[in-house]
Amino acid sequence: MSFALTILGSSGALPAFGRFPTSQYLNIQNRHFLIDCGEGAQMQLMKYQLPVHKINYIFISHLHGDHYLGLMGLLFSMHLQKRVNDLHLYAQKGLDEIILLHLKYSKSALSYSIRFHVFDPEQQTILFEDAAVSVTTIPLTHKLPCAGFLFKEKTKPFKLDKQKLLPGMKLQHLVLLKTGANVFDDSGNLRYRNSDFTLPPTPSYSYAYCSDTAWNETMVDQLKHVDLLYHEATFMEAERDKAIETMHSTTLDAARIARQANVGKLLIGHFSARYRELEPVLAEAQTVFTNTALAIEGNTFELPA
């Protein structure tokens, strides 16, 4: 699975009906990301046999407890398992102080280093980028400053058509062809045309995680045509007044954002503890955006689907 999202927690502020607070695990081309870390996140990682030791990047959307209170337990467990690799933690100002205070008063020193990356949730900022993936903040609207995260694969290399490769082709020729370039000799004459020896790249995919937010139409442009969108849907439409009061979204808010952004698939989560059964929640969202699914514990969503 080169692009797979596993849901660890789907509940709102309170754990309810076997649902855990928010946390998600994302694997893109063997890069392992944890998105938010509500209570019990490490237990969920173990339950679903996900490789905790491979997580090198953790993104925290905001500092309401249901989105980060599982973090200290996870950090200490990584220490007890003798982690040595650096851990990169992306969050707003304040989480670094919280963690350092825990370490100070428990007289603890971790076996690895935490690299804190502080971001401004009101700005679109590239937090992480390498040869294959970029992660950018999505400004949201909530009681506390809050940001979502947009994960995008970069354009992938062309694939070599092994049946058409010729004897005498050198490694540097193949490398150039995989970039999409033609190969020329020292005199500038065309030697190998890219289209004669390659197949199109595998499609690149994208995932947008929109944590706690009130209706926020300003993010639609950033979400245009993403393959997979997670958008909180704490309340059903009958509780719109409560959604407005708490600066959360309803099922129809999430579905309308998905429709306006023309996304491939919508996942909804962060469900209020007032809903024991979630089928009515899903059905309501599907009245506006048909390709909607529940982001509930243990479900893995792969791209391509």
- Domain assignment present for residue 106? The answer is yes
- Domain assignment present for residue 13? The answer is yes
Alpha helices of 109-219 — where are they, by DSSP H?
A: 171-178, 194-197
Mean pLDDT, all residues of the chain: 95
For the question of whether the overall pTM of this predicted structure is more than 0.85, the answer is yes
One domain for residues 83 and 193:
no
One domain for residues 99 and 111:
yes
What pLDDT is stored for residue 61 in this prediction? 98
One domain for residues 121 and 187:
no
**What is the pLDDT averaged over residues 7-36?**
97
For 60-88, how does the pLDDT look when each residue is reduced to its tens digit (9 = 90+)? 999 999 999 999 999 999 999 999 999 99
Percent above pLDDT 90 for the chain: 83
One domain for residues 137 and 54:
yes
pLDDT at 208 over 80: yes
**What is the pLDDT averaged over residues 38-52?**
97
Least confident of 136-140, 190-194, 210-214, 271-275: 190-194
For 108-132, how does the pLDDT look when each residue is reduced to its tens digit (9 = 90+)? 999 999 999 999 999 999 999 999 9
- Domain assignment present for residue 64? The answer is yes
- Domain assignment present for residue 19? The answer is yes
Is the CB of residue 131 less than 8 Å from the CB of residue 111? no
What pLDDT is stored for residue 1 in this prediction? 59
- Domain assignment present for residue 303? The answer is no
One domain for residues 145 and 180:
no
The residue among 148, 182, 199 that closes a domain is 199
What total of structural domains would you count in the chain? 2
Tokens of 172: 């540097």
pLDDT at 224 over 90: yes
One domain for residues 186 and 224:
no
- Domain assignment present for residue 304? The answer is no
One domain for residues 102 and 41:
yes
**Which one has a higher pLDDT value, 66 or 166?**
66
Instruction: With H, G, I as helix, E, B as strand and everything else as coil, classify residue 53.
Output: helix
One domain for residues 224 and 247:
yes
One domain for residues 243 and 289:
yes
Q: Provide the residue range defining the domain that includes 177.
A: 164-199
- Domain assignment present for residue 287? The answer is yes
One domain for residues 207 and 235:
yes
What pLDDT is stored for residue 117 in this prediction? 98
pLDDT at 216 over 90: yes
- Domain assignment present for residue 305? The answer is no
pLDDT at 303 over 90: yes
One domain for residues 238 and 132:
yes
Strands 31-37 and 55-59: parallel
- Among all residues, which ones are annotated catalytic? 66
* Burial (CB count <10 Å: 0-12, 13-18, 19+), residue 65: exposed
In this structure, what CATH number is given to the domain that contains residue 23? 3.60.15.10
* C-alpha closest to that of 272 among 186, 229, 212: 212
* Burial (CB count <10 Å: 0-12, 13-18, 19+), residue 11: buried
Angle between helices 71-80 and 95-105 (to 10 degrees): 50
